[in-house]
Structure 1
Amino acid sequence: MVHTCVVAGCRNRRTPGTTLSFYRFPRDPERKQRWIAAVNREGWVPNEGSRLCSTHFISGKQVKNPRSPDYVPSVFTSAPLSPSMKEASACEMYDKQEAQVEAANALLFLQGQGRFLEAHGQTRSQEEPESVSSSPSSCDEEDIKTEDDVEEEMSLTSVNQMGSPVKNIPPDYESSLEALKKENVELRESLEKMSLTEASFKNDPEKVRFYTGLPNYFVFETVMLLLVPHMKGDKNAKLSKFQQLLLTLMRLRLDLKNQDLAYRFGVKVATVTRTVHRIINIMFTTLVPTAVFWPSRVELRKNLPAALLCTYPDCAVIVDCFRVSLEKALNVDVNQEVASTALTTVNELKYVIGVAPQGVVTFVSRGSPGHVSDKNLVESSGLLFKLLPGDVVLAEHDFDIEGLVEARKAELKITSRCCQSEQVGEDFSLVGTLSDKVSVHRHVGKVIDMVKRRYSMLTGPVESPFTLVDHTSNVSTFDKIVQVACALNNLCISAAPLE
């Protein structure tokens, strides 16, 4: 079937050997209406056979990206002819062509092509005296053209792709136009890189790592797929689901203030606050159980590092504590030896963390006031209930939990230098294992440091709104943030294997 372009004045047809493409009108109603408006034919409606040729697109083809200038046709060198225009005389058409040339010359002059305009002005100035010196009957003689005049006029004009006569344009105009198109593309690419859009993150792993702490976009997309079913699909929301997750990760990763994030994403501070709390709750209920869990003993034994394979083959967990300062001191109730209750000022929160020998976080407690002893913290955290008979727990020398561990028929091993030196004094055969024990202690510290470096919000100080306890889950928002950060860390490359 032979297709003809529907644009008024365009004579392009699909013929054998043509390099032109002919496109159907889009099925999307909004985009289709924009194409019809661009064609600008009053009262005209396209049908199934209507086609638009590729000459009406800047790049020579349609683009389905809404951000592209070729999403809608925009190249129309000749407007549709109304009935009154069809009846215009040849003199009026010539005047219109002259006006187009003048406009092109003005554009060239603004782009630095003044020489062409100056030469054109000189030509006009040379022609004007001749018209003044001509006799009154010259007006009638102008309508009579000789064959030489016709040939000269044809040499000064050409036919464009639309089939309309235009004045010949110097090569400098084409080069300037190409330079402007190239500059436009470069500016669009630069703007895309600086923007916080999904497309700008897909092929830029450095950008993903800087803003989210995740190693690449694949991991980010995996987290996104896990959370999307639980995220609200409000059509009127100012932030997309991608932006909601990105904003929350930037809050954890860079510890940015809500006002800063509001400026970056073009929303109100209240929107940022609600988004962060909502996404944290979703990750706490969906991501944490998936990424932070206590492995089976078979898996622990199968992947036990070489440094522990000989010394502690039954090692189940390495226990340590870390503290986070508070932005504003809190008053908490503490039970004294007497029945009365007193208020104590708390300046920091304390967490117990359990790390598998492979470097994966397997347990995180809730935050407790900084003055709570390690023994009470471990006893109330629920860590002991995960131990099985025969398990070995590695900890520091000041972890006074030996009795609690033995009650679960497990064994506590101390890995600090102090304790090791005392053991060496009694038994020189332990000297060979000192370096292994020290490296074990440093190993868990490396995991904690990595989580804090990856998500700066864990370094504190903790803002007061995050210390409020959610009555539905009886967990504070910052406790959820700590567990979410550990879960995200487990999705990344964890601490170096213990060797």
Structure 2
Amino acid sequence: MVHTCVVTGCRNRRTPGTGLSFYRFPRDPDRKQRWIEAVNREGWIPNDGSRLCSTHFISAPLSPEMKEPGALEILDKQEDRVEAANALLFLQGQGSAAVGERLQEEHPEEKEQEAIVEESASSSLSTDDEDDDESVSDSKKGKFDAAVNFEDILKALKKENQALRESVEKMSLSENFLRNDAEKVKFYTGLPNYFVLETVMWLLAPHMDGMKNVRLSKFQQLLLTLMRLRLDLRNQDLAYRFGVKVGIVTRTVHQMVNIMSSTLVPTAVFWPSRAELRKNLPAALRTSHPDCAVIIDCFTVPFEEPVSRGNQQQHQQQQRAAATSQGAGTSHNVLKYLIGVAPQGVVTFVSRGVLGNVSDKTLAEGCGFLCKLLPGDIVLASRNLDIADSVAARGALFKIACSYQGETCGSSEGSQLADSSSEMVSVPRHVERVISMVKRRYAMLTGPVESPFTTASERTSNLSTFDKIVQVACALNNLCISAAPLE
């Protein structure tokens, strides 16, 4: 833009080689008014393009200091560098708010420098260069010679940014969130410590390569599944926590349960050899039943099912009764499982789930439990499961350990009295303690089970997803130090 001096009769124009300087009207109202009066044009008001040439000023020759970059030009460059630092921090996730706070905390002198620059700008002339950038200088004020070391500020901000990143990572649901914190591991996964969790991850990782999930790492997929089992969190809740869609949570849980069922369950839930059983047999059975192979019982878990309005109240009563009973369920809306526990307190067998109205005998004969028995084995239970004949057909012996001291009630040969032993008092409660421990550790087993988990997960298997969840929960429980040994 070509500027012309606004003084009446002055024809000076801004052209290359003239050596003239052109000045803007000052922003200060008083000084601006004095300039207008000096122009002496009645009713005239300057605009943004109005300029005065240097011939109308007494100090027209420019001093060396005025030829130096003006104070506002220095401030503009500093602001550009600050904006560049802000942009860098914003891209790194820190945000630009920390810059102002950091400058105020570490460099309070910068405020004084800005005040000096503003004072200098208000009292000095404004001149235009080739790019129309405003450059103001006043020889009486002196030039701006204090510079802020922005490299040190940037280094400090990067260090602070790294610390904040580490803090955020510790709060996110990842490895650092649980590492070196056994209480968090117990709360979110049910496992005793991070080492056990890391071992489980090591066992499962090779089988997770086929899972395509770009939003969640392998560890997060395992953690999400364990939180689903442990805390019985709904899929929508987990989607919010991990920042993914509900569909990803659903797919991840089903895939991880299938992998854990085929990999972890055979490793942790298995029928021990007779030599191992006798080697570690607790004192409570070493004298009375040295050939005890397993202690069995049944437990039920309610599941969701549409019910007509007329039978809704009756259904709820039946469901509550079945959920609290360890006996044979009478409701169709519960899943019934047969569980076998070694005297040492680990789960050695879990059946698939059947409707609660199925008898104990039918369940035991159809789940594959009898195939585990060897001739001479003793099967203990706290109540009559009506499987004595079926057990006897395998050459084993079924006995009922009564809840009162020194007596057993019933066997494959009829009711008999066992040797008086105070240790037998703990036998009836042994399986109940283990079942209770597994349900406390993994709340999803308390039910009610959602309908998507009760259907067969694969066409080639008669196990539902929840059947696999029960087996996985028992396997994970076996990885922990038993809290219910037979004493």
Q: TM-score, normalised by structure 1?
A: 0.63
Residue of structure 2 equivalent to 1:388: 374
Does structure 2 retain, via aligned residues, the 8 Å contact 1:443–1:495?
A: no
The range that moved more, 311-320 or 397-406, is 397-406
What CA distance in whole angstroms lies between the structure 2 residues aligned with 1:244 and 1:129? 62
Does structure 2 retain, via aligned residues, the 8 Å contact 1:320–1:395?
A: yes
What CA distance in whole angstroms lies between the structure 2 residues aligned with 1:370 and 1:330? 16
Pick closer, same or farther for the CA change 1:220–1:112 going to 2, 3 Å: closer
Pick closer, same or farther for the CA change 1:415–1:468 going to 2, 3 Å: same
Q: How does 1:470-481 map to 2 (within 5 A)?
A: 470-481=458-469
Residue of structure 1 equivalent to 2:441: 454
Q: How does 1:65-80 map to 2 (within 5 A)?
A: none
Does structure 2 retain, via aligned residues, the 8 Å contact 1:259–1:269?
A: yes
What is the aligned counterpart of 1:249 among 208, 212, 226? 226
Q: What residue identity is the alignment partner of 1:457?
A: M
CA drift of 1:345 comes to 6.8
What CA distance in whole angstroms lies between the structure 2 residues aligned with 1:328 and 1:347? 7
User: Is 1:366 aligned to 2:352, yes or no?
Assistant: yes
What is the aligned counterpart of 2:423 among 436, 443, 458? 436
What CA distance in whole angstroms lies between the structure 2 residues aligned with 1:402 and 1:420? 21
Instruction: State how many pairs are aligned.
Output: 368
Structure 2: runs of 5 or more not aligned: 1-65, 83-98, 126-135, 309-329, 410-414
What CA distance in whole angstroms lies between the structure 1 residues aligned with 2:386 and 2:405? 13
What CA distance in whole angstroms lies between the structure 1 residues aligned with 2:235 and 2:119? 69
Residue of structure 1 equivalent to 2:94: none
Pick closer, same or farther for the CA change 1:268–1:103 going to 2, 3 Å: closer
What CA distance in whole angstroms lies between the structure 2 residues aligned with 1:345 and 1:427? 33
Does structure 2 retain, via aligned residues, the 8 Å contact 1:330–1:345?
A: no
Q: What residue identity is the alignment partner of 1:408?
A: R
- Provide Cα deviations, 1:429-471, integer angstroms capped at 9, x if missing partner: 844x1x3122122222111111101111100001111111232
Pick closer, same or farther for the CA change 1:109–1:303 going to 2, 3 Å: closer
CA drift of 1:127 comes to 7.6
- Provide Cα deviations, 1:243-281, integer angstroms capped at 9, x if missing partner: 211111111111111111111222221111111111111
User: Is 1:417 aligned to 2:410, yes or no?
Assistant: no
CA drift of 1:236 comes to 6.1
User: Is 1:405 aligned to 2:391, yes or no?
Assistant: yes
What CA distance in whole angstroms lies between the structure 2 residues aligned with 1:347 and 1:389? 37
Does structure 2 retain, via aligned residues, the 8 Å contact 1:329–1:346?
A: no
Residue of structure 2 equivalent to 1:497: 485
What is the aligned counterpart of 2:293 among 316, 325, 334? 316
Q: What residue identity is the alignment partner of 1:268?
A: K
Structure 1: runs of 5 or more not aligned: 1-88, 133-138, 144-148, 158-165, 332-343
Pick closer, same or farther for the CA change 1:392–1:167 going to 2, 3 Å: closer
CA drift of 1:175 comes to 11
User: Is 1:349 aligned to 2:372, yes or no?
Assistant: no
Pick closer, same or farther for the CA change 1:127–1:390 going to 2, 3 Å: closer
Residue of structure 1 equivalent to 2:206: 229
Residue of structure 2 equivalent to 1:262: 239
Does structure 2 retain, via aligned residues, the 8 Å contact 1:198–1:242?
A: yes
Pick closer, same or farther for the CA change 1:389–1:107 going to 2, 3 Å: closer
Does structure 2 retain, via aligned residues, the 8 Å contact 1:349–1:370?
A: yes
What CA distance in whole angstroms lies between the structure 2 residues aligned with 1:220 and 1:126? 65
What CA distance in whole angstroms lies between the structure 2 residues aligned with 1:475 and 1:118? 72
Does structure 2 retain, via aligned residues, the 8 Å contact 1:451–1:489?
A: yes
Does structure 2 retain, via aligned residues, the 8 Å contact 1:316–1:393?
A: yes
User: Is 1:467 aligned to 2:454, yes or no?
Assistant: yes
Q: What residue identity is the alignment partner of 1:387?
A: L
Q: What residue identity is the alignment partner of 2:278?
A: R
Pick closer, same or farther for the CA change 1:411–1:130 going to 2, 3 Å: closer
- Provide Cα deviations, 1:278-297, integer angstroms capped at 9, x if missing partner: 11111111111111110000
Q: How does 1:82-121 map to 2 (within 5 A)?
A: 91-92=68-69, 97=74, 99=76, 111=104, 116=109
Q: What residue identity is the alignment partner of 1:412?
A: F
What CA distance in whole angstroms lies between the structure 1 residues aligned with 2:275 and 2:363? 28
Q: What residue identity is the alignment partner of 1:441?
A: P
What CA distance in whole angstroms lies between the structure 2 residues aligned with 1:421 and 1:109? 78
Q: Equivalent residue of 1:468, what SS?
A: coil
Q: How does 1:271-290 map to 2 (within 5 A)?
A: 271-290=248-267
Q: How does 1:17-96 map to 2 (within 5 A)?
A: 91-92=68-69
What CA distance in whole angstroms lies between the structure 1 residues aligned with 2:336 and 2:122? 96
What CA distance in whole angstroms lies between the structure 2 residues aligned with 1:456 and 1:108? 46
Does structure 1 retain, via aligned residues, the 8 Å contact 2:72–2:117?
A: no
The range that moved more, 93-102 or 314-323, is 93-102
- Provide Cα deviations, 1:184-224, integer angstroms capped at 9, x if missing partner: 56644442232101222222222222111111222222222
Pick closer, same or farther for the CA change 1:129–1:317 going to 2, 3 Å: closer
Aligned-residue Cα RMSD (Å) equals 4.2
- Provide Cα deviations, 1:93-119, integer angstroms capped at 9, x if missing partner: 987555567899995897379984675
Does structure 2 retain, via aligned residues, the 8 Å contact 1:397–1:418?
A: no
What CA distance in whole angstroms lies between the structure 1 residues aligned with 2:122 and 2:242? 64
Pick closer, same or farther for the CA change 1:124–1:378 going to 2, 3 Å: closer
Residue of structure 2 equivalent to 1:78: none
Q: Equivalent residue of 1:284, what SS?
A: helix
What CA distance in whole angstroms lies between the structure 2 residues aligned with 1:372 and 1:468? 18
What CA distance in whole angstroms lies between the structure 1 residues aligned with 2:274 and 2:367? 21
Q: Equivalent residue of 1:475, what SS?
A: coil
Q: TM-score, normalised by structure 2?
A: 0.65
Pick closer, same or farther for the CA change 1:123–1:288 going to 2, 3 Å: closer
Q: What residue identity is the alignment partner of 2:369?
A: L
What CA distance in whole angstroms lies between the structure 2 residues aligned with 1:237 and 1:130? 60
What CA distance in whole angstroms lies between the structure 2 residues aligned with 1:128 and 1:286? 75
Residue of structure 2 equivalent to 1:196: 173
Residue of structure 1 equivalent to 2:13: none
What is the aligned counterpart of 2:472 among 484, 495, 498? 484
CA drift of 1:383 comes to 1.1
Which of 1 and 2 has greater Rg?
2
Q: What residue identity is the alignment partner of 2:286?
A: L
